[in-house]
Amino acid sequence: MSDAPETPPILLLNGPNLNMLGVRQPEVYGADTLEDVVESTRRTAAEFGLTVRALQTNHEGEMIDAVHAARGEIGGIVINPGGWTHTSVALADALVVPEVPVVEVHISNVHAREPFRHHSYISPIAAGVIVGCGTAGYEFAVRRIAALMGR
Query: What residues are labeled active site?
Result: 29, 106
Closest listed residue to residue 16, CA positions, set 81, 65, 104 = 81
**Is 93 known as a binding-site position?**
yes
**Is 117 known as a binding-site position?**
yes
Beta strands in 52-146, from DSSP E residues, in sequence order = 52-56, 76-80, 102-106, 128-131
The contacts of residue 86 (CB under 8 Å, 6+ apart) are 116, 117, 119, 120, 121
Burial call 35-49: b when 16+ CB within 10 Å, e when fewer: eebbebbbebbeebe
**Is 122 known as a binding-site position?**
no
**Is 109 known as a binding-site position?**
no
Q: How far apart are alpha carbons 131 and 109 in whole angstroms?
A: 5
**Is 108 known as a binding-site position?**
yes
- The answer to whether 139 and 44 are in contact (CB under 8 A) is yes
Going by the annotation, the residues of the binding site for substrate are 80, 86, 93, 107-108, 117
Going by the annotation, the residues of the binding site are 80, 86, 93, 107-108, 117
